[in-house]
A = this chain, B = another copy of it.
Amino acid sequence: MTTRNPSLPGLKNRLHEIIFEADTPEGKLFDLLLLAAILVSFFAVILESVQPLHDRYATLFLWIEWTVTILFTLEYILRLWIVEKPVRYATSFFGVIDLLSLLPAYLSLLFPVTHYLQIIRILRLLRIFRVMKMAKYVKDSYLILIALRNSRRKITVFLMTISLLVVLLGTLMYVVEGQVNEGFDSIPRAIYWAIITLTTVGYGDITPVTSLGQMIASVVMILGYSIIAVPTGIVTSEFGRSHRVDTTTQTCPFCMEEGHVPDAAFCHKCGNLLNPQEHFPV
């Protein structure tokens, strides 16, 4: 995605190759070490939350946390120093995640609860696509996002309908079961039950006990079981549609290929981004 930038001086250029690119052996090694550090940090955070492990290895976890935090801080400063347009990097998707990965550790000195926000470091793993040269995966991610974006209005309408349904059904159940079943002792709890039932999750922590309540619950279940077809139908027809549309007159800036479909994010011939400036401003 990034290419050698002739306007950078020697050292910066060398570091840019190592830190931002993955084409040279050093660049690949750097990225692999980065992924390893992310994973170590991730497992340290989640395992530290297990009481017996916390009691036994508290010092080890503390040591890992701060080593990784300091390394990530140095890396972030280095990245800011290396790139030509630091603001652009700092406000890009990965730039924001890189910063968010650092803040919780420092904030936890003041507010201990933010300690767990370090889990956000796991998002840095998304860089794995870059390391593994998985351009096709990035492309497919875009296709999924495009299908979802195209159906966002239909999905919003669906979610609003679901929301109205669970409010009305929950209130109905509160009226029916509220007096005899402590699981339905307030409307918010009854709405919570309606969501559990309509989505077919079915924890079973709140269940109707009266005959009428069980009848209404049966209707809610069959409703939930049936209307799952709606979002599926929406998204599926959006996925399917992309194979049938007319082509546009856009020309690929890399290979000059024409005849792309309207939603195309990538050239179908060379696989490059059709509008690179939109997606990777850095």
Please indicate the chain B residues that have their CB under 8 angstroms from the CB of A116 in the complex. 171, 174-175, 187
Say how far A272's CB is from chain B's closest CB, in angstroms.
Answer: 18
> Given A192-B214, A199-B224, A241-B243, do A157 and B144 touch, yes or no (CB 8 Å)?
yes
Q: Shortest CB–CB separation between residue A188 and chain B, in angstroms? A: 6
Which residues does chain B contribute within 8 Å of A147, judged by CB atoms?
233
Contact B234 A239 (CB under 8 A): yes
Would you call A229 and B218 a contact (CB within 8 A)?
Answer: no
List residues of A (124-162) whose CB comes within 8 Å of B's CBs: 125-126, 136-137, 140-141, 143-144, 147-148, 153-159, 162
Q: Which of A6-14, A43-51, A252-260 contacts B (4 or more CB under 8 A)?
A: A43-51
Determine how close the nearest CB of chain B comes to the CB of A23; give it in whole angstroms. 22
Q: Give chain B residues whose Cβ lies under 8 Å from the Cβ of A244.
A: 243-244
**Residue A113 at the chain B interface, CB threshold 8 Å:** yes
List of B residues within 8 angstroms of A158 by Cβ? 144, 226
B236:A232 contact, CB within 8 angstroms: yes
Binding site for B on A (CB under 8 A): 42, 45-47, 49-51, 113, 116, 119-120, 122-123, 125-126, 136-137, 140-141, 143-144, 147-148, 153-159, 162, 164, 167-168, 171, 174-175, 178, 185-189, 191-192, 195-205, 207, 211, 214, 217-218, 221-222, 224-226, 228-244
Chain B residues whose C-beta falls within 8 Å of the C-beta of A200 in the assembled complex: 199-202, 225
- Classify the interface of chain A: helix, strand, loop or mixed: helix
Chain B residues closer than 8 Å to A211, beta-carbon distance? 188
List of 3 A-B pairs having minimum Cβ-Cβ separation, nearest first: A201-B202, A203-B204, A237-B239
B230, A148: Cβ atoms closer than 8 Å: yes
Q: Is the CB–CB distance between B234 and A237 below 8 Å?
A: no
Q: Provide the residues of chain B in CB contact with A191, threshold 8 Å.
A: 46, 218
Given contacts A122-B168, A147-B233, A225-B200, contact A113 B175 (CB under 8 A): yes
Contact A225 B228 (CB under 8 A): yes
The CA of A168 and the CA of B197, in the complex, are separated in Å by 23
Complex CA–CA separation, A164 to B157 (angstroms): 26
What separation, in Å, do the CA atoms of A120 and B198 have in the docked complex? 19
CA distance A231 to B171 in the complex (A): 28
Is the CB–CB distance between B222 and A186 below 8 Å? Answer: no
Known contacts A235-B232, A236-B239; A207 and B199 CB within 8 A of each other? no
Report the minimal beta-carbon distance from A228 to chain B, rounded to whole angstroms: 7
The reply to whether B188 and A49 contact each other, CB–CB distance below 8 Å, is: yes
Cα A222 to Cα B200 in complex, Å, equals 10
Q: A123: which B residues are within 8 A, CB to CB? A: 164
Instruction: Report chain B residues within 8 Å CB of A185.
Output: 51
In whole angstroms, how far apart are the Cα atoms of A188 and B187 in the complex? 27
B230 touches A233 (CB 8 A): no
